[in-house]
Structure 1
Amino acid sequence: MTSADASGFAAAKEGLKAISGRTQWINQQVGSGKLSLDPDAADKAAKRCEEEIDALGVLLQNAAALRTLKGLGNYPDGQQLAQRFQEKATGGQAGALELIRDMQEELKKQADAFRGAAKDYRATDEQNADDLRRGIQ
């Protein structure tokens, strides 16, 4: 059993891998010239990624509060429960905090990929306009 399985975040880790794969695909398509997006659409997609990053920031604050959970008493059961919450929050690479930060980073990469696609679109559009002005087609 991996630490992600032990902390209960195995599905979240798999979801993050899928998103990472999608980001890599976008970057590959942009890099090979197979994907260029209308700048407005790309900007909207990038802004949506940034909105999700902000929403994850709120979730990150809430998850961070689990590290200092109080009020469960001094009895062993209460202390064990508090410890389990702390482990869920900070469980190394499989804790909630790390997963949320990783997701924020992945969304930032995706926003950058969308902006890269828009940049390529603009460059192609400008090249075509230059070619038309020079009579090349």
Structure 2
Amino acid sequence: MLAGSEQSRLETRHTAMLQAKMRDERSTRPVRVGDISPRGMKVVTDRPPARGSFVDILVSGHQVAGQVRWVNGRQFGIRTHDRIDMKAILSGKSPNTRIKGKRIEPDNDPDKWPLGKLVAAYSLLGVTAFSSAYLLVTYFVL
């Protein structure tokens, strides 16, 4: 019988080497995902979080939340509660994009907004800038 830390892996792991961002109780910082499985991932960073802490990892536009199960030098492993969509993460497809032909385009592209939406957006921006300038002038001059 194997000890708890030496259990055989039932799920396939895939080497990833993806750039990501991690948020824990200390800060948000860049990390690298070394490998990924349906229920966890190995992450590499200069300052790994403590074992047992909870982290959020943003990789390929997907947010993965999990608990740190082990730490070894600069590497640590997280276990997730929900299954990870490995195909989407490894393919680099962001959850808020759609595929048109062979090109991936974001859903909300300002270059393709209709004229009315552009006028409304720039009007709001102008009113905000004018209001900010008015407040600054009245605060510092008066």
Q: Same fold (TM over 0.5)?
A: no
TM-score after normalising by structure 1: 0.21
TM-score after normalising by structure 2: 0.21
More helix by share: 1
Higher RCO (CA < 8 A, seq sep 6+) = 1
